[in-house]
Chain A
Amino acid sequence: MRGAFLALLAIPSVATADVERAITDHILPGYEAFEDATLALREVGNCDPVAVEPAYHAAFDAWMGISHIQFGPIEDQNLMLAIAFWPDPKNSTGRALGQLARDADPIVLDPATFAEVSVAARGLFAMERLLAEPPVEGEYLCALLQAVAVDLGRSAEELNGAWTAHAALMRNPGPENPAYRSQEEVERALFTSLATGLEFLHDQRLGRPLGTFDRPRPLRAEARRSRRSLRNVTLSLMALRDLSATLANAPELLAAFDRAIETAEGIDDPAFEGVARPGSRLRIEALQSQVRQIQELTEETFGIEAGFNALDGD
């Protein structure tokens, strides 16, 4: 049985992870690329959407490479939502940006204070909204775009900077280590990232727009305004495959990833509008089933199960 939001736990006796490879080949380069891409976005220095969009997409692409690494600095600094506020069922991003625009709030003029605005008005989804459905025009829009870009760049810089120290903690678990008292805890953090990343992909990135057959929800697709819902699914599959490949020698699991990536690349429906049409819906459902197979193989390979209490529901 699977709920909408189950904490998955790795019981790391089944597999032994190559932690060093996961750190040096996956996490550190991923956060570095994210910093580079957000700094490039900040440097665009132009408020014309045509000029900003390529840098926005590059930053989002880079984020997809590490969005599943939700432990360590991003957790310590509570920056997850400030980078990617989604799902957003209450339209908090639209409302928060609308409020800033209506008030022409000067808070956006000072990058130091911008981090105090609603978390929904920050990050990649705020940027997307400003580019696709700007709540205001002219100078204030320009100031908002710049503020969001500067803030995002600073978050990425802080995270990338902090990862050096965090990687050292992961490499040296022990009783005196404040974050990881054993090798098992390090492995658990990595396996759990993989499992929750897959769960998010299945339940949210694919499950949310799919809804039910009788009630598909295309407007719930992730980043549909910038038409990158499918792209996020594909990049997320690639990133999770990459993490799996660093963790263990599991050819069957990697083959399952490859099949799903091939399916995703064969779908021509960038914003998942096709969930509402039976023919195209079928292909997205097929992709979702392939993700489920990956989840099952991952659970077998790494010994991951839902938590005893998380699963209980009482």
Chain B
Amino acid sequence: MATRRTFLKGLVASAGLPAASWADAGHPAYLSAAQTPGGGYILCGLRSDGSLTFSLPLPDRGHAAAAHPHVPEAVAFARRPGTFALILDCMTGRVLHRLDAPPGRHFYGHGAFLYEGDLLCTTENDIETGEGRIGLWARAAAYMRVGEIASGGIGPHDILHLPGANLLAVANGGIRTHPDTGREKLNLNTMRPNLTIIGADGSIFDQAALPDDLYQNSLRHLAVNPAGEVACAFQWQGDPFAAPPLLAVYRDGTLTLADMSEAENRALGGYVGSVAHSRDGREIAVTSPRGGVAYCLGPDLRAAAVHRQADVCGVGATWDSFLLTDGLGQVATFGEAAKSSHDLRWDNHLIAI
């Protein structure tokens, strides 16, 4: 491991100063992929008022995006089991680099930057074994692939950078899929999801899982607050009418399940699409496109407010609330009617920059 660590350090040292900032890309507050009325796919920058700053074409359906912490560069990921990711210059709209998953790997649709944006980490499937991998790509070397590590489970989906440390939180969803069978789930009776906290050298700092009887609660999406608490959003693979709470918070090494009512659990339809912390880190919003509903939970992990919006999925913090996007093109503030409407289908995630 020492060799890899030294190598990573070298990459960090080689990074130059950023030439442009996100301000130069029109101050977008969020990124989101979308489908156009013509059936094409784009990546957009959005302001907090729901207006667009830019819109860049994608070759296929996107999923999430990752924003570089300083320079106006975004990584747009193909929807799983996609094999491409594009590094986009959000000022010029140019494709700076194209990442292709190596042979035997495909992307799961999420990525995160470590080391002040010098190392891009992508969740991937080792197709042969079904083991989750994290691909490592060096920005300073034109996003060359510089290695990969085990993700600590099967089906890693969301991944994020923990504040104040060069550590990743990885949502190992537990579900094995194979490109030959598309998105079919191959191991629902034996799945074991977990949250893994891991360094880029592959050393695992911690792993946390829900109690055994909730093994079919697939961990998919994550959000982190400034205190380093990780909100974990799940998708229940069992009977949707027997779904447990679909949100848990990782703090002090343990996962605490949200205290949600039977009615709230059912309203989510067994499926949370996205999760976000409020800007102050005290509240958490979860969305369910299947239920057409979003809940805001307070620090006691009880639902404090409900928001209804058909096909709602993307969610990100605003300065005092949440912004939500849906598959009908609407952008709304939590608890309010839509503030803007686009002739687009917003896809899955609203990524705060």
Binding site for B on A (CB under 8 A): 4-7, 9, 75, 78, 80-81, 87-90, 92, 118-120, 178, 181, 188, 192, 307-310, 312-314
Contact = CB atoms under 8 A, between A and B. Distances in A.
Contact of B263 (A90, A119, A188, A313): A119
SS class, residues of chain B in contact with chain A: mixed
Nearest to B287: A309
Contact of A81 (B109, B242, B266): B266
Interface of B: 35, 63, 79-80, 109, 157, 183, 220, 235, 239-242, 261-263, 266, 269-271, 273, 289-292, 308, 310-313, 326-328, 337-338, 345-348
A212 to B, nearest CB: 14
A307 B270 contact: no
Nearest to A3: B290
Given A89-B241, A307-B311, A310-B290, A119 B262 contact: yes
Nearest to A189: B310
A255 B252 CA distance: 61
Contacts of A75: 308
Nearest to B328: A9
B316 to A, nearest CB: 15
Contacts of B291: 7
A308 B345 contact: yes
Contacts of B109: 314
Most chain B CB within 10 A, of A87, A90, A308, A313, is at A308
B263 A4 contact: no
> Can you list the 10 inter-chain pairs with the closest CB atoms, starting with the nearest?
A308-B327, A307-B311, A309-B289, A309-B313, A310-B289, A87-B241, A308-B345, A5-B240, A89-B242, A5-B269
Given A308-B347, A309-B327, 15 more contacts: A4-B240, A5-B240, A75-B308, A78-B263, A88-B241, A181-B337, A308-B327, A309-B289, A309-B313, A309-B347, A312-B273, A312-B348, A313-B235, A314-B157, A314-B220
SS class, residues of chain A in contact with chain B: loop
Contacts of B289: 7, 307-310, 312
A299 to B, nearest CB: 16
B327 to A, nearest CB: 3
B262 A120 contact: yes
Contact of A188 (B80, B310, B345): B310
Nearest to B266: A81
B262 A308 contact: no
28 contacts: A4-B270, A5-B240, A5-B290, A7-B290, A7-B291, A7-B311, A9-B310, A81-B263, A88-B241, A89-B241, A89-B242, A178-B337, A181-B338, A192-B310, A307-B326, A308-B327, A308-B345, A309-B326, A309-B327, A309-B347, A310-B290, A312-B79, A312-B289, A312-B313, A312-B347, A314-B80, A314-B220, A314-B348
Contacts of A120: 262
A300 B100 CA distance: 40
A313 B157 CA distance: 12
Contacts of B271: 5, 310
A308 B273 CA distance: 12
B328 A7 contact: no
A310 B328 CA distance: 11
Contacts of A314: 63, 79-80, 109, 157, 220, 348
A314 B157 CA distance: 9
